[in-house]
Structure 1
């Protein structure tokens, strides 16, 4: 069973830093990511999704290859390449893998402009090791599919890190 975790950070750079750390943990086999998307809200209120995998580009590359191959068979590789790239890009754009885009846009509507929400779909994870690695980044839990006990442990750890960071930034007199 997969777990969904959504954490809000004060900016996109911080969310990207956490996502890169999670990708590093995946290389160490501590977590298996299904998807990791950063959603940001512009000052105008528009939601922008920064996907981990660009399905449009992947589709265009795949389509280009197959189009070129078919074009060579019919003695017109350039037309085959163009048609393959176009159809592959269209197919990739219509493909939604991982977390549902509409769900992410709806949930991200509640964040403040400039904030970033990191959506993580974890197929497997060693929760205590993942938490130890990301708690220093702080953040606020927006939503999870974890059971109540695990969710509270996550909230407490991130809250402690955020409180520690706020105390360190407070001027002393």
Structure 2
């Protein structure tokens, strides 16, 4: 089981600073890196997904899958009804809390940004305490992922093309 924490800021600078603080918290704790993603919405309403990367390899920290999945949550602003075929409905069908998803999507205003992270080893309390201490008055959303939901979401991540995850591809041998 793990926790999904998304903290929404009014501006991108505060969200990127928060992402850096969370990465530093992970490094100081010596835990396995988790995906940290900053999702921003510009003044025209376009969404951008920015993940923390390992500077030595160029690959996303934590593998990239959870970061991409968190970013995808913001792309479908429709009401996640079970009879719908949209991305939001698929996330709810996988077990993500409908109210959590709707609140997260609605809270990201134009010009704002959100920091998202799946938390396992670092602990929800440490992450929440760090976010509460940051400037910018973040609006924090949190949900618990049970084993079934984690498995279903992991299956969804498995369907994301490798190129979208930003992982280096192996070249075929000559």
> TM-score with structure 2 length normalisation?
0.52
Aligned to 2:109: 112
Q: Unpaired runs of 5+ in structure 1?
A: 60-91, 148-173
Please give the per-residue CA displacement for 1:32-75, whole angstroms capped at 9, x wherever unaligned: 54211111111111111111238xx847xxxxxxxxxxxxxxxx
Q: 1:104 to 1:36 in 2, by over 3 A?
A: farther
Number of aligned residue pairs? 111
Specify the structure having the higher radius of gyration (Cα).
Answer: 1
Is 1:7 the counterpart of 2:7? The answer is: yes
Aligned to 1:130: 127
Match of 1:102 among 69, 72, 75: 72
Aligned to 1:23: 23
The answer to whether the 8 Å contact 2:7/2:116 transfers is yes
Higher helix share: 1
Distance 2:142 2:7 in 1: 7
Q: Unpaired runs of 5+ in structure 2?
A: 77-100, 147-174
Distance 2:21 2:64 in 1: 24
Aligned to 1:140: 139
Q: Aligned-pair RMSD on alpha carbons?
A: 3.1
> TM-score with structure 1 length normalisation?
0.52
Q: How does 1:69-88 map to 2 (within 5 A)?
A: none
